Amino acid sequence: MDIQQNVLLAPYTTVKIGGPADFFIHTKNSEELIAAIKYGQDNNLPITILGNGSNVLISDSGIRGLVIKNDSEEIELLPDNKVKVSSGTQLSSLINFTLDHNLLGLEEFAYIPSTVGGAIIGDIHGVNKNHFSKFVDSVEKYNDFIISTVLKLIPGNSTSAKAEVSEIIQKKSQVQLMNSLGSVFKNPEGHDPAGMIIDQQLNLRGYSIGDAQINPKHGNFIINNGHATAKDYLALISLIQSKTQEILGFQFELEIKLLGKF
Ligand SMILES: Cc1cc2nc3c(=O)[nH]c(=O)nc-3n(C[C@H](O)[C@H](O)[C@H](O)COP(=O)(O)OP(=O)(O)OC[C@H]3O[C@@H](n4cnc5c(N)ncnc54)[C@H](O)[C@@H]3O)c2cc1C
């Protein structure tokens, strides 16, 4: 096992923000993932698993303890329209695999830059408003950490589903930029979507603090134009929060997770 120290985490996130991990292990399959978790436990280190870092704002001071970057590509076809997949597998690979085997359902999650573990933890929602948990048959955990899952899918002809995937990717890539963390805030119940409020009611479209900017094409995405820090990113979040409170009298709830000390 290659245990590294003081590894900068920014490159392991989509938004390219985040300070160092005290200890860092990059795992390439489920066995390595379990071994890395055991190492952390045996050495009394707090453990954080990172998938693609596409939903986490990591502090500029980084994360104490052990960070495991979970990478793998293990997908197995099972009987009864089921697949077993390791938690570090890229969602895009899983979608391609299942469609190649005429198993449908996951196409609405196209373009989401997630690992399977991240998709289960966040219970991601797709363009048709279904959640990932709809397809989850069982989850294999080691302590609280997700190692693999079995999904139950829908048999069918994948020709139109493949076209749908291409269309979703084409459409989303126009507005949802990858140098972000996806939607920063949950859509508030009983109100317009958060992005629309930020654009049209708070008039913050394109507003920047340092290199962190409210995406001019989608108000609920905050992008990194180069050298944004977690401090910049959080300052924009706080600004949006205080303006929403002042103008609309409520607070948005965060969709992203904050990791490390803020
Ligand atoms: C351009 C863009 C578009 C997006 N579109 C959507 C969308 O349409 N719908 C949507 O729901 N989300 C969307 N997101 C948000 C994000 O991609 C999802 O939340 C995704 O599921 C996060 O997966 P990840 O592998 O990057 O997890 P990470 O961000 O690495 O981790 C997220 C959390 O899960 C924990 N975790 C990760 N793996 C494990 C594991 N194996 N065991 C235990 N804990 C684990 C981490 O510690 C962390 O707390 C988008 C993001 C971007 C950048």
Ligand 1 centroid, distance to 53 Cα (angstroms): 6
Task: pLDDT band for 101, please (50, 70, 90 cuts).
Answer: very high
Handedness of CA 88, 94, 96, 97 (dihedral sign): positive
CA of residue 115 to ligand 1 center, whole Å = 7
- Give buried/exposed letters for 179-200 (b at 16+ CB in 10 A, else e): bbbbbbbebbeeeeebbebbbe
Alpha-carbon distance of 237 to 194, in angstroms, equals 12
Percentage of the chain beyond pLDDT 70 is: 100
Give the model's confidence band at 29: pLDDT under 50 very low, under 70 low, under 90 confident, else very high.
Answer: very high
Residue 41 pLDDT = 98
For 87-98, how does the pLDDT look when each residue is reduced to its tens digit (9 = 90+)?
A: 999 999 999 999
Quick one: 128 exposed, middle or buried, by C-beta within 10 A (0-12, 13-18, 19+)? exposed
pLDDT classification of 157: cutoffs 50, 70, 90: very high
Amino acid found at 109: F
Rounded to two decimals, the pTM is 0.96
What would the mean pLDDT of 202-212 be, rounded to a whole number? Answer: 96
Element (H, E) at 95: helix 91-100
Confidence label for 25 from pLDDT (cuts 50, 70 and 90)? very high
Name the one residue in this structure whose structure tokens are 């008039």: 203
What is the pLDDT averaged over residues 13-33?
98
Cα of 246 vs centre of ligand 1, distance in Å, is 30
* CATH code for residues 4-70: 3.30.43.10
Torsion angle of C-alpha atoms 253, 220, 124, 254, degrees rounded to 10: -20
Sorted by where each begins, the domain ranges of the chain are 4-70, 75-174, 194-259
Tell which CATH classification among 3.30.465.10, 3.40.50.720, 2.40.10.120, 3.30.1330.120 matches the domain 75-174: 3.30.465.10
* Distance, C-alpha 3 to centroid of its chain: 24
User: Among candidates 52, 73, 74, 53, which has minimal Cα distance to 62?
Assistant: 53
Domain 194-259: give its CATH architecture: Alpha-Beta Complex (3.90)
Give the span between the Cα atoms of 230 and 234, in whole angstroms: 6
pLDDT tens figures, 112-127: 999 999 999 999 999 9
Q: Which pLDDT value is given to residue 229?
A: 98
Residues with CB under 6 A from ligand 1: 14, 48-56, 70, 87, 112-115, 117-119, 121-122, 124-125, 145-146, 176, 178, 180-182, 257
103 pLDDT band, cuts 50/70/90, is very high
Q: What is the pLDDT of residues 237-247, one digit of tens each?
A: 999 999 999 99
Rg (CA), the chain: 19
Residue 252 DSSP symbol: P
